[in-house]
Structure 1
Amino acid sequence: MRLAELSERSGVSTATIKYYLREGLLPPGERLTATKAEYGEEHLRRLRLVRALIQVGRMPVATAREVLKAAEDESLSQHLRLGAAIWALPHDSEPDEDGADAPEAARAREQADALLERIGWGCNPETGAPSPAYRMLVEAIASLARLGYPHDTDHLLPYARLASELAVHELDVVETYDTPTEQIEASVALTVLYEPVLLSLRRLAEAEESGRRFGEA
């Protein structure tokens, strides 16, 4: 397809597509002449992923480029490619282990490790740099502790079990895509797109349960 058709099918303006091409977010098309190129379904799929990263994930172009670079690294196994791509996604702030909360962060790490061991996940941060998701978990536990809310393993275990079920479901969806690259792209896109779905459903569920428990008869 030509650029105009790619724009029409993707819903992305030709000017934006040209910008993505210049910034390396979209691979170049097959050159036909000095001024014309042919684009394929892989370009359409990539455009959808880029839109998910930038418009929904609200990440800078440079960060999106880093995520895409990790997803394209065919020297890695499928598991490591997926991990590298998800690792490159933006994450919340990390614990300040050098500040006044260092002892608190250390206790939070102990609790995070206990939770991971209890659920049986092989996420051992001692094997290398802790993943951003692990650091987010530590910060969340530390915040709960600072504010005096439940944060012990028994309280957090149901969240971990629900997360396990979600991971199985999402990767089942990812495996419906044909090629390793499509699977990586789908996994990254769904990670970005489903997080607001999860947040909204959780809040709707809490409102529904609150109505059942505390609503007027």
Structure 2
Amino acid sequence: MRLAELSERSGVSTSTIKYYLREGLLAPGRQINTTTAEYDEEHLRRLRLIRAMIQVGRVPVATVKEVLGHVDDDSLGRAIRVGAAVWALPQVPEPDEEDEYVQAAHAEVSTLLDRLGWENAKRLSALSPAYRSLVVGVAAFRRLGYSWGAEQLAPYAELMHRTAVLDVDNMEAHPSEAERIEFAVLGAILNEPLLQALHRLAQEEETTRRYGFE
């Protein structure tokens, strides 16, 4: 397809597509002559991913470029590619390691991972933004006087593991390696808000079931 058709099918303006091409977010099309290039379904799929990251996820262009670099790096194994791509997305601020509540939260999260038998997650804890986010959250609860740690989190973690199994099963259903990694990135941007919305709906359902509407 030509640039105009790519624009029409993707919903991205030609000027924006040209910008993505200049920035290296989108691979060049197959050159037909000095002024015309041809694009294919992979360009269309990549454009939709870029659009989701920038417009829905509010991810800066420089970060999108970094994420896509990991997506396209076929020298890495699948787990590393997925991890590197998702870790490059915007994350919570680094916890203050001198804070006593952060230190206590580290101990609770470590206990949680031991209890669950999540050895790989523990091995990656020094690198993982998800681990740091969990520490920040647990520290915030403890700072406010709530005893929220391994015992309370374990049932939630077991539910999340079942969710992760579904995520990976759905990822593996895609035919190409690039599509699988792209799906994982989209999951971090699009699926997490859906899961949050389902969680809140479930809370509404359960609280009204128990206590009514009064």
Shorter-chain TM range is: over 0.9
Q: How does 1:114-193 map to 2 (within 5 A)?
A: 114-121=111-118, 122-125=120-123, 129-193=126-190
**The residue matched to 1:123 in structure 2 has which SS?**
helix
SS of alignment partner, residue 179 of structure 2: helix
Residue identity matched to 1:202: H
CA shift for structure 1 position 93: 1.6
Is residue 2:104 matched to residue 1:107? yes
Describe how 1:1-217 pairs up with structure 2 within 5 A. Answer: 1-98=1-98, 101=99, 103-121=100-118, 122-125=120-123, 129-216=126-213
Three-state SS of the structure 2 residue aligned to 1:104 is helix
**Matched residues in 2 for 1:58 and 1:159: separation?**
28
Question: C-alpha root-mean-square deviation of aligned residues, in Å?
Answer: 1.4
Deviation at residue 152 of structure 1 after TM alignment: 2.1
Q: State the alpha-carbon separation in 2 of the partners of residues 104 and 190 from structure 1.
A: 31
TM-score (norm 2): 0.95
C-alpha deviation, 1:211, in angstroms = 0.8
Q: Structure 1: how far apart are the matches of 2:56 and 2:213?
A: 38
Partners of 2:109 and 2:149 within 8 A in 1: no
Residue type of the partner of 1:8?
E
- Structure 1: 4+ residue segments shifted above 2 A: 127-130
Deviation at 1:128, TM superposition (A): 7.5
Q: CA deviation at 1:200?
A: 1.2
Question: What CA distance in whole angstroms lies between the structure 2 residues aligned with 1:52 and 1:150?
Answer: 38
Q: Deviations over 1:38-93 (max 9, x none)?
A: 11111011011111111111011001111111111111111111111111111112
Give, as a single letter, the amino acid of the residue that structure 1 aligns with 2:150.
Answer: T
2:72 and 2:27 mapped to 1: Cα distance?
11
Q: Distance in 2 between matches of 1:216 and 1:203?
A: 16
One-letter identity of the residue aligned with 1:47: L
Shift of 1:124: 2.2
SS at match of 2:12: coil
Percent identity at matched positions?
54
